[in-house]
Structure 1
Amino acid sequence: MNTIQKKIYTLIAVVVCSMVVIWVALTYYNQKMQHQYNDILQRYLQMNEASTLSRELVTSLNNYIQSPTVDNMTVLEYDRGLLQEAMHNIVSLKNEGNVFVITNYYNLIDSLMNATDRSIRFLNENNKEEALNDFSDAARLSTYISEMTLTLFDNELKTYDQFYRGMIKQSGLLNKLGITMIAMITCILLLFTYLFSHSITRPIYRLTQAARELSRGRFDTAIDIEGSDEISFLAKTFDRMRININNLFSEAQHKAQLERELQTNKLLLQESQLLSLQSQIHPHFLFNTLDTLSKKVYLEGLEETSDLIASVARLLRYSLKRLDRPVTLYEEVKILREYMTIQRARFTDRLRYVEDIDDTCLYVQLPGLTLQPIIENAVIHAVEPLEHGGTISLVIQDKHEYVLVEIKDEGIGMSEARIEQLLDGNEQGRLQDGHSTGIGFGNVVKRLRLFYGQENIIQIESKPGQGTNVKLMLPKSNKGGGEQNAEYSDR
């Protein structure tokens, strides 16, 4: 949750980071200018050091010529080493504008050292005259070095004149930049502070308005506050409370309306019960009539006709009583045989019926009158139109997770469009047989899917001229299908 405390910490972090950025930027540019200034000053010191050391070397050489002692020689060697080190440092002062001058300056120092070495050598050989001549050359070279040092100073001043001016200008710009950055950071912080405070006060104001509307009895005004802090959480909780209160009012009104409708429906129910009793008189009268005809025909010696009438009576009784609740596969197969008895009496040898049934699968439940309409469809489209009739086979097999029921025929088959129409449940069947139950193929598909709560419960394999194979994949245990079965039973 993006809490208000985190927002405050964020504001503090932004302020601190802004100040650190300003300090780092100003410190960086100040250090950069200081390093550049130190580099230039170091160049002046190196050139001045070379000029000073050249004069000290000449002085030490003069002292040694006047008094060639070990101490004077030691001082002379020390001064010569310092000048040689300064001569090597002079090389680092070269740039594009002073290559020629620095080279000459380097050569003058080298010549001074060579003259000094020659003067010492001649003095050690007791050739004082040549030693004095070389001393004079060394003194003259020292003067040249001092003059060239001044010349180098002048060139350096001209070379870095723009740099000095740039440093002064840059210093002014840094001051302006610092002021500008402080002003900009201040504006940003003021804007951030305003947004921060607005993100807290605005939701509180909207929540207050919503509470005022709720106190007036208006529960239809939604509270929509975006965010993830404590105020947003409070607003969402308040909105859920509003919805719950509104639902309670709606539920109370709905219950009152239901009570009024219930009183009305009680009267209608009494009338419907009377009508239901009247409607049951006709089927029972028909059953009793068929039973009477069956017994009379049997007494007259027409046993086959008696069995046929009995099969019609059992089929009719089953179709009227079993549609409102699930049945077992055993009951479906049993009533299917009654139906095939009627159809074989009608088609005689033209209808051939074959069964291959695994009796261990007959406990599976399914909607009543599922197999008979499928077989009836096969009889009408695969046997009746053909002069030589046809064969219809029923296969029931155990497939571990489900029971496979296959109904095959050798009829004219059907197209993919026709199969799709049947599986969509749009085909209600156009049966013309006098013993039809009136339940179409599409009705069977809908009831199967409703009962099991699955879409892939039925498959149709067929091609024009190659017959049809209808497959039912019936789950052994309809887990989670209790609500579907209850809904099916209510229907």
Structure 2
Amino acid sequence: MTMRGRKMNKKRGRRYKSIRMKLLEIFVLVVAVVLIVNIYVYFRLNKTIREIDSVYSSNIQLNELSETLLNLEDMLGQYLNTKSSDSLESYYLYEQEYRDMLEGLNEGTVNNPIRLAEKNIFNISMTYLDKTTDAVTAKRGRNVTRYNELYQEAEQLYDFLQTSIHSNNTTVFLKNSQKYSLLRTSLNYVVMISVVLLGAVAAVAAFWTIVMTRSITKPLVELADAANEIARGNMEVTFPIVETGDEISTVAKACNKMLDSIREYIRTTKENYERENRLIENELVMKNDLKEAQLKYLQAQINPHFLFNSLNAGAQLAMMEGAEQTCTFIQNMADFFRYNVRMMDKDTTLKEELELADNYVYILNVRFSGEIHYNKQIDERLLDVSMPSMILQPVIENSVNHGIRGMEGDGEISLFVYSDGDYIYIKVTDNGTGIEPEKAEKIMNGESAHSQQERDSAGIGLDNVINRLRRYYNTQDVFYIGPGRQGGTETVISIPRERGGNMDG
């Protein structure tokens, strides 16, 4: 790739911006603008409200000062008249409170009349407190003449202080009322400006959002119109290419390429149409030949019912001739084949599966001259349990073919059916050559451990049995195979109890 080509690709990469990113930018920008405006309005309103709240704080302070002074004067009078310790204690408390409140008044020299009045109140208050302290001291020293004089002077100062505080409070209140009116007017202006500002921001954001979304949706509408024309059968339409820098232009270009491919396909189809017409006659001839072959195949099939009826007739003939063993063998063969055909795709019961296993072992013993010893321990209460068909016979045949067959001495197969409450277990053991752990693991993993030629007489392998059990009970832990505790092979089928019908007997 040349240097110029790389630069063009980089430029295109910088210009490309997905629809998702565009919509995200619109959303973030609108939210950011609205948030900033709201924050500005919030702080402006809070500032104005705080100023309004603090307008009359000076009046409240003067009122509290006057009330404390009143309480102080009352406690002083009570103590001087009664010499009560409670009155003295209350006096000291109010005195300390009054001194603390005086610290908030102006003490310096200023040109402000209100501040100057506060300075006078402060100075007179300090003189008043000195007089009251001396009066209390004289009272405690039992100097009647002295504390009476001091108390009269304190009362005069008290009256002057109350008058000064009230006068100053009135002056401050008038000034604060003017300030309050100005702040209320300012608050109204702030609210009105905030509403106008929010409305303007909302209008601008809505207009900008409409413009931006229209720039996105307009090419989509044009693409939809072109698609509708194509849907009506007009294949000469081309999708408009709008360089929006997002997925829309990519889709339009891809659709135009698709249209070119469709047109080429239509042309090729037309060219092949005549050739296909010439082959229609040959195809019809081939279909007729196929139907004829299928008919011959159906005519050559053997009806299973004919086979069952023939085996039953053979069993009756053997019985009439006194060949009881032959009759029993043929009857077991008929029952075995009938079960295979009838129950392969249907549910059965544990009782029917056990009967099929009995028939199968009987047939094997006839074949191998009774070399297989078959033992059973069955919990009779579990015979009506529902289960898939053709499960036990492949397991027993696996024990025979891969365990007992070819071994020296008699083979032994044991079948156990028992339950522990949650599960019903069907265990088959043999005394054969056993099974390798690796092969057992493959079988339980669903891998075919035997070749197609090694499958059982019904064409069913253990992998088929395992898969059907897992699908039927909707669980993986339904089948185990491995070496037996005393040699041979042990196979255990675990049936969840809730799928069995009446299992309590």
**TMscore range, shorter length:** 0.3 to 0.5
The alignment's TM-score, normalised by the length of structure 1, stands at 0.45
The alignment's TM-score, normalised by the length of structure 2, stands at 0.44
